[in-house]
Structure 1
Amino acid sequence: MRKVTPSGLGFFTLACLSLGASAQAAESEAALKRTVDEAIRPVMEKNGVPGMAVAVTAGGKHYFFNYGVASKESGQKVSENTIFEIGSISKTFTGTLGAYAEAQGKLSLADKASKYWPALAGSSFDTIPLLDLGTYTAGGLPLQFPDGVTTREKMLAYYRNWQPAYPTGTHRQYSNPSIGLFGYLAARSMDAPYDTLMEKKLLPMLGLTGTYAKVPEARMGDYAYGYSKANKPIRVNPGFMASEMYGVKTTAADFIKFVDDNIDPSKLDPVMQKAIASTHTGYYRIGPMTQGLGWELYPYPVTLDQLLDGNSTDMARKANKAEKLTPPQPARKELFINKTGSTNGFGAYAAFVPAKDIGVVILANKAYPNAERVKAGYRILQALEGQN
């Protein structure tokens, strides 16, 4: 058989095609940079944000865009390896750990809360399922613990004495004590402290090496300072169940890997794949948004107005009527999935669309309005969708 080889003209044509593809890729990346710049720089200027790190994933490829400083005092520049506090986006890890415990058979979301903490026996939590703690539908647990809850004993007393304002499963009231207790009980079902499970099991299984419940000494030089409303440097002061509620710290480079895990979990352990699917399952519908475990879900395509409604102050601060989905809405690719998070000195946003294989993470060392995060993220994802 005669071996057929490309002609010189064929090589030339292939080379031209290769150069053309490279030029097109460079042009697309330049266009993406312009979009990110136009979305982020005005937000920084308007809100006095010292530094921001943006990570984008498209088809599994990552792009990083860094702005400003991690510390105004030292002048250290932001990079994709700068560590930011992500506030309530920490709840997506809490949801994942609880879902992993269920996938392992350690708990059922239908189990009553007091099953995993006998000290709650005889309280309202004898009748409240774990699912309703994880989806903020237990009956009106508040946004934060009352100021008087200053010790573990007082925390237990608070839970034991708490009485629902609404029948379980009828209203969603966004609540740190609700999902905090969910994460705490999930950890108890696995016979280990939450932080230990996070750092020794969950994060390694997800391939995350720059995400922490507590930043190790060796990485403190990469830990940004947040800035308060008075523009004073500040970092989170961990309280009870901090990691479960708001205490995770991460980098843009690491967190975008978690977004990839959520877009396509097929490379993960089968049990973790099942857990990820559970966090994308719709359990309650509240207006335009459907509540998953940690993540908040919207049918795709979604309008900006729907996202702004779902991420509004009323959604975060008030009790809203919730429609229980029976059976729950199975995880699917045609979703827009997002979560905001803040501490006193940081503001964060993450969003992704599995069907389009695109996602964005926006980390800032100053809190600023959720609406502005959502608008910036939506604009960036729309640009990515146009390129795909």
Structure 2
Amino acid sequence: MKLTNFKVLLILLSLTPLMTFAQSSGQRKSDLVVVLIKKYINEKRPDRIYALGSKAYQTSISKDKLAEFFEKNIYFLGKVKESSFLRTEQKQRKYKLEFETENLELSLSLDQNNKLDRLSFSDFVPVVTKKTVLVPSSNPLKSKLDKEIDTLARNYIQNSNAVGLSIGVFKDGQTYTYGYGTAQKNKDMLPDANTIFEIGSISKTFTAQLLAYYVNAGKISLTDPITKYLPDSVAANPELQKIKIVNLSNHTSGLARLPENLLSKNPDAANPYKYYTKELLFSYLKSCKLASVPGEVYSYSNMGTGLLGVILERISGKTYAELLKEIITDPLKMNSTFQHLTPESAKRFTKVYNKETKEVKAWDFDALVGAGGLRSTVNDMLIYAENNIESKHTELAKAFALTHQVTFSKEPMVGLGWHIMKPTADTYYWHNGGTGGSRSFIIININKKTAVVVLSNSEAETDSTGVGIIDKL
């Protein structure tokens, strides 16, 4: 579950006249403008940035629109700590901005009066190189499967943006686990099947399992309006009265990906969910507007699944952590899957790293824990996958089966929590996850009774590794 996606995020400023200055002089002037932009971002003064623009710039975007852009897309990243020149490309100068939470690439150009005529922000993508030395691994390289997994794992872990990797495979009733790299940079700490990782948005499938369990118990219906379970002051919002419980689990609620007030009250930009309480969530929901008609359009929403977790807490009178333990992890003996670390389990918790392999904070969750707040191990996730395929626990088996039923048949196909692919006669149930310093992936083929789990302690995506492995099973 990534907090933001800047890959296609651009301010609509595209007028770029011919530059009339030598590159060295032009860069010095651009450097000075970037220093001012950095200062005004940290002071939250978009009006000052607007004043740096040319007439063409100010014609392209209003002062209010620019302020709205920074409020929604920039300020929650925290303050800009450093800026550095990267390159000149198509008459634009590119800079790296290092925020408290992540890095962005800033592109700008100046007119002949040294006024901004183009300004854009995008995801900063560091150059990925190959490590020259093979990283450590527990893979014995004895079987054909071992060697196939090693090839795919090496394609990932030998990249400069990868740190540690834990892989689990379920096939023919057997489990196989492999560790690569390290759980902590500059230390000999090979991850194993009991190393604890953040699993990010895979947590959403656990929230769906809790929902399915309560549906089967008659405590809630998928077609219930969500307002049935919300405080009266929140339920009074007519927009919310259109949303059904199922819409929260299959991302068709029309709710935004994240509430606009997620970070406005947050004292720690590097831990964006930690201080987001139910009170803040309800405050936002009282007056929120939907982006689409519920049930008609898929739009991934961390807020939706987080709200579902809150509703399950309100129904049960228990915390999410208590529900998880009582309904899923205790019966399945998943003893290393939880929201909160104990002093003992913290010893097995990996450090986490961003896309430049700089250590960052692991994320903590409050109200939105159901969207991405769980930690787990490859061993536990293989237990979870195996029980999705076939469980001896009758009530849990019924709940797993319900989560696999299609609830949204357009693209992408979704069950409850799970995304569903049918590329051939087989059906695959999958989910991925991401935080500020981790990536995770799980994919299950119930027909073939196979599953793959990939957990990483860096921001480099793991989906292609997991898909590659399950193709070999």
Shared topology, TM-score over 0.5? yes
Give the 4+ runs in structure 1 shifted more than 6 A.
Answer: none
Local SS of the residue matching 1:285 = coil
Does 1 or 2 have the higher relative contact order (CA < 8 Å, sep 6+)? 1
Q: Distance in 2 between matches of 1:357 and 1:300?
A: 17
Which residue is 1:160 aligned to?
286
**Partner-residue secondary structure (3-state), 1:338:** strand
**SS of structure 2 residue aligned to 1:260:** helix
Q: Deviations over 1:250-294 (max 9, x none)?
A: 1111111100010112x11x221111011111111232x311111
Task: Tell whether the 8 Å contact from 1:140 to 1:171 is kept in structure 2 after alignment.
Answer: no
With structure 1 as the length reference, what TM-score do the two structures score? 0.78
CA distance in 2, matches of 1:69, 1:90: 24
Match of 2:400 among 276, 280, 289: 276
What is the CA-CA distance between 1:28 and the residue it aligns to? Answer: 10
Gapped regions of structure 2 (runs ≥ 5)? 1-139, 267-275
> Is the contact between residue 421 and residue 427 of structure 2 (CA under 8 Å) also seen in structure 1?
yes
* Partner residue, 1:317: none
Amino acid at match of 1:193: T
Following superposition, the deviation at residue 50 of structure 1 comes to 1.1
Q: 1:365 aligns with which of 457, 461, 469?
A: 457
Given residue 285 of structure 1, which amino acid in structure 2 is its aligned partner? S
Structure 1 residue 191, shift from structure 2 partner:
2.1
Does structure 2 conserve the Cα–Cα contact (< 8 Å) formed by 1:144 and 1:175?
A: no
Going from structure 1 to structure 2, the CA distance change for 1:280 and 1:226 (only over 3 Å counts) comes to same
For 1:214, give the aligned amino acid. Answer: H
Aligned to 1:247: 373
- Which shifted more, 67-76 or 100-109? 67-76
SS at match of 1:158: helix
Q: 1:187 aligns with which of 305, 309, 313?
A: 313
Q: Give the alignment partner of residue 190 of structure 2, picking from 62, 71, 77.
A: 77
2 CA distance for matches of 1:116 and 1:251? 33
Matched, 1:337 2:432: no
Displacement of 1:300: 5.2
CA–CA distance in structure 1, aligned partners of residues 265 and 407 of structure 2: 30
Task: Answer yes or no: is the 8 Å Cα contact 1:70–1:365 preserved in 2.
Answer: yes
- Equivalent of 2:213 in 85, 94, 100: 100
Cα pair distance change 1:114/1:149, threshold 3 Å: farther
One-letter amino acid of the counterpart of residue 407, structure 2: Y
- Please state if 1:259 is matched with 2:389: no
* Counterpart contact for 2:161–2:355, Cα < 8 Å: no
Deviation at 1:176, TM superposition (A): 0.6
Greater helix proportion: 1
Matches within 5 A, 1:222-241: 222-241=348-367
Provide the rounded CA distance (Å) in 1 between the counterparts of 2:337 and 2:386: 15
Distance in 1, Cα, partners of 2:183 & 2:147: 22
Q: How many percent of aligned residue pairs carry the same amino acid?
A: 27
User: What does residue 60 of structure 1 align with?
Assistant: 173
Aligned AA (2:212): A
Larger radius of gyration: 2
Q: Match for 1:176 among 283, 302, 324?
A: 302
What CA distance in whole angstroms lies between the structure 1 residues aligned with 2:328 and 2:429? Answer: 21
Q: Deviations over 1:228-270 (max 9, x none)?
A: 23422233232333431111111111111100010112x11x2
Match of 2:246 among 131, 134, 147: 131
The answer to whether the 8 A contact 1:84-1:250 is kept is: yes
Partner of 1:148: 264
CA RMSD, aligned part only?
2.0
TM-score normalised according to structure 2 size: 0.65
Distance 2:444 2:142 in 1: 19
Cα displacement string for residues 165-208 of structure 1 (whole angstroms, at most 9, x for unaligned residues): 21111111101101111121122212211111112332112331
State the alpha-carbon separation in 2 of the partners of residues 143 and 102 from structure 1: 26
**Which amino acid is the alignment partner of residue 148 of structure 1?**
S
Task: Give the number of equivalent residue pairs.
Answer: 321
Contact 1:58 1:359 in 2 (8 A): yes
Q: Distance in 2 between matches of 1:381 and 1:202?
A: 25
1:376 Cα offset (Å): 1.9
Other structure's SS at 1:283 match: coil
Q: Residue 171 of structure 1 aligns to which amino acid in structure 2?
A: V
Aligned residue in 2 for 1:121: 235
